[in-house]
Amino acid sequence: MSPLRPSTGASPISGNPLRCIAGNISGGTGVMRRRPLVVVLMASATSVQASETVRYAPAPDWVAAAPAITAGQVGGDAPAIVLFDNQARLDGALATTYIDTATRAATPAMLAQMGNLSIPWMPDRGDLTIHRLEIVRDGKTIDLIAAGQKFTVLRREQQMEQNVLTGALTATLSVEGLQVGDVLRSSFSISQSDKALGARAMIVAMTPAAPFRAGFARSRLVWPRAQAAKWRGYAAGLATTERDVGDLHEVTVALPLPKAPDMPEDLPDRLRRLPIVEATNFADWADVSRTLAPLYATDGLIAPGSPLDREVAAIAAAESDPLRRAQRALELVQGKVRYLAVGMNGGALTPQPPARTWELRYGDCKAKTLLLLAMLHRLGVEAEPAVASVQMGAIVATRLPSAAAFDHILVRATIGGETLWLDGTGLGSRLEDIRDVPPLRHVLPLRTAGAGLEALPLRADARPDRIVEVKWDQRAGVEFPTLFDASIVIRGRMAEMFAGAASQADAEERRTTLQQIISAETGEAQFVAEDLRYDPATATATVTGRGVVTTPWQRENRRYRMNVDRVVSLLDFTPDRARQAWRDLPVSTGAPGGTMYRATWRLPDTGGAWELEGSRTLPATLAGRQMRRQVALDGGTFTIEERVDAIGAEVAPDALAAERAHYAQALADLLRLKAPAALPNRAEQVLAGRKDGRFKPLEEAFAAVIARDPKEATGYSSRASFRAGLFDNSGAIADLSRAIELEDSVALRMQRAALYVEEERARDALADYRQARALEPDNDAVLLALAQATAHGGDRPAAYALLDERIARGDRERVDAVRTRAELMAEKAGGEADKGVALLDAVIAERPGDSGLLNGRCWVKGIGNVALDTALKDCTRSIELSDSPAATLHSRAFVYYRMQRFEEALADLDAAADLMPRSADVLYLRALTRRHLGRTAEATADMTAATLFDRQIAATYARYGVTG
């Protein structure tokens, strides 16, 4: 860090009063967006003696010199920051900050960082004076100023992207002759005042805490004993010395402070401690109010017959209702005057006159507020200005009264006994928003008689900040992909910023950004189209998109279900108050903002009844948020509308347990849509769909996705999965082949190989498995598939060699290779079922409670038709241990089938089919079982479905010696 950096980082507060943080509060919508704090040393100033040149002079007399640097401070493990001395003086209207730092270039990296110095300051508000610039080397001091090294002054606006012109100058210097091991010492001061504050000013100094280290560090505030001033520190562990020194009163803080205690991330802002000490000669908040109020007097500011007067007259002629007049005036200020903050030439506190603002068609919060006030007063509306802090409104009431506590101003209007908050820097305000309360927490009305702080209530805005609407088309069936048509509307300043950023992006960046926004609401999607429209009249950005997603339906307890909740599911309320020191701390529920979710689902025509389970309503409040929900289920259409508003509320410590319980209950009662119990199986749906064309819209959507970007592999691979699900193997293979040409991968090779197996293209399948292994030699799934294909292709020794090599590695994951080898040995062509069982015996001895291994041994015994009595014991034990017994139920059914206990086999197969309705293994074995029981029609249906799911299922069972 440059030794001069403390000059721009001496305070984490906005010491530039009313610098107008535009974009955080949007048109009465209550949107507040957190930003990094701009850190400046002092209040704004308009100094009659200010200069645009850097001055060079000794340190002022009021500065207490820091101790001399000792040899022990510049060697060994001594901190690289040798000296940090931050002093400030308050004297009537004049505030001066003094910084003295010394930093050791301990490494080449630090040397490179330290060598370029820069100090910004506002020349219309004060002077920059350099007092010292030295290199300390081997105990000797080199005076760089005496050697002729001087600062160069640059004018560069660093906040133009935020529409802020400050008039700041930057003094820069590349230090000559600096070497590793040197100590660079510098000291300077910046003096500031502002005539708008009269005889008032404020000062601030930093109070860094450990792990910050320095050889010597302190912060010091002084002011004349004869002047009334107040000071306050905020950090934990603050140790101060307060005394009179000559004609000055002095407050000194020894640094660094102790490490601040850890606090939870969800600690409310009002409880966070500022790392500063500050002093002010404002008497109280009423003094601040009285001092700033004259700046917003509106008498005579709108000249009769002027262009601005004609605008006001037009509103008066059009509207007689004071509320509508106020709204029309607000819309004019927001819509016809763009935001631009000009802080130079005395503009930090003093607003631009309304006529000038209207002429230029730009202004900051001060200019817009004065313009709006003048218009409202001419329209007969009672209104006054009120200052606020967008960034730290929660802690304003804990601060010392001063103008530096605020960074924003807006209008407080009173109409019909109601208090309204009108912000000219917002965008898109409409009549329905006029009663919205901005999330500023505290404001200070500006009155000539003075006023105290006013706390603002926390409540949701009339309109949400975002409206997310998605129309879902699930008519193809709950097991198939879902079409969507989505719209996301964003309001206010955020909409303007987003639209502006999107307009600067190239086509690919824009497309990616829009797709990411929509995917956040729909899940991962393939897009047919996406677009962005911005309406400056309403300050809304609308993102739209159409496409297809994987079905969101999940099979659970033998029914397909889908979570349709978009509020509780997305809410994370897991406050950590486990530490004793945290148990009495409230919980912040986040920054204010509201979202409306609307969804419409078009459901398949199944002939059965669709149902809702869970809570049809939402709690009025949950985890500090306000909520509501409306739902309707009408035949094949389901609609839901939900709204959630974070209002910046807190959860009190004594309410936390109950709120956790309410949250847990809400999670347990998530609203879900439930499909009819008697849905046709997938095979029946596919066969029916081939006749009625229900899959045509999906096929068209995938074709459109591919047509948009025919060189993108994911479009082909997604359509391949869809086609494979329709048992269109040739179409799926064609798509996978194209995807592999574009972007080869193990997943694509494995998927195509499996389809080749079904199509009896064994050589092609082997080629894909081998290429997949070449891509990922350590992928066990690939090795197992390759071994099985090799064995079934007739080369069992080669297959066993592959598996034995994997087994020989000896890690715990070898068990899959052991199980695969045992299965191959148990097959009819293997003829070594007993040896296969013995292989599994050995690994089960190591892991006797492994349900998967027990199932594997049961299955191998069934394949080999050996030890069927113990096979039953293995399967039953596996079922008892497993959370997902479907595969083991199938294994045990096979053992029962071998034992010709067909009724028991059928019971297990029915249970397995409920859990795995698309398993060709289960359906094929059940078809054979039903034949033995004389249930021919059901057996035929099962056989048809099984052979659709896997055309080689009969060949698979033939390898076990089982034929239909």
Residue tagged 């860090």 (tokens): 1
Among 674, 694, 711, residue at a domain's last position: 674
Q: Is residue 170 part of a domain?
A: yes
Distance of CA 313 to the CA centre of its chain: 46
Q: Is residue 305 part of a domain?
A: no
Q: Is residue 427 part of a domain?
A: no
Give the orientation angle of helix 868-881 with respect to helix 851-864, to 10 degrees. 150
Phi/psi of residue 244, nearest 5 degrees = -100, 135
Give the count of domains, the chain: 3
Q: State whether the Cα torsion 953-954-960-964 is positive or negative.
A: positive
Give, in degrees to the nearest 5, the angle at Cα 805 between 802 and 808. 150
Q: Is residue 35 part of a domain?
A: no
Contact between 202 and 223 under an 8 Å Cβ cutoff? The reply is no
Q: Is residue 4 part of a domain?
A: no
Q: How far is CA 132 from CA 60, 100, 102, 123, 286, in A?
A: 12, 8, 11, 20, 41
| CATH value at residue 846 | 1.25.40.10
Could you give the CA distance from residue 729 to residue 368 in angstroms, rounded to a whole number? 66
Give the 3-state secondary structure of residue 33. Answer: coil
Mean pLDDT by 10 residues, the chain (964 residues): 34 48 40 28 36 93 95 88 98 97 94 92 91 95 96 74 68 95 96 92 96 96 97 95 97 96 95 95 98 97 97 98 98 94 69 96 96 98 98 94 96 98 94 95 98 96 97 97 98 86 90 96 97 90 97 92 97 96 96 96 92 97 97 96 97 97 97 93 93 97 97 97 97 98 98 97 97 97 97 96 93 91 96 96 93 97 97 97 94 98 98 93 98 96 94 96 89
b/e burial code for range 797-834 (CB count within 10 A of at least 16 → b): eebbebbeebbeeeeeebbbbbbbbbbbbbbeebebbe
Could you give the CA distance from residue 350 to residue 360 in angstroms, rounded to a whole number? 17
Strand bridging mode 140-143 / 126-137? antiparallel
Q: What is the CA radius of gyration of the chain?
A: 37
Instruction: Count the residues in the chain.
Output: 964
- In the numeric block, which tokens belong to residue 309? 């007067």
Among 223, 257, 281, residue at a domain's last position: 281
Residue tagged 């001496």 (tokens): 10
Q: Is residue 87 part of a domain?
A: yes
Give the 3-state secondary structure of residue 843. Answer: helix
Could you give the CA distance from residue 919 to residue 910 in angstroms, rounded to a whole number? 12
Contact between 824 and 788 under an 8 Å Cβ cutoff? The reply is yes
Q: Which domain holds residue 947?
A: 826-964
Q: Is residue 84 part of a domain?
A: yes
Among 613, 639, 674, residue at a domain's last position: 674
Q: Is residue 94 part of a domain?
A: yes
Give the 3-state secondary structure of residue 604. Answer: coil
pLDDT computed for residue 159 by the predictor: 55
Cβ-based neighbour number of residue 294 at 10 Å: 11
Give the 3-state secondary structure of residue 165. Answer: strand
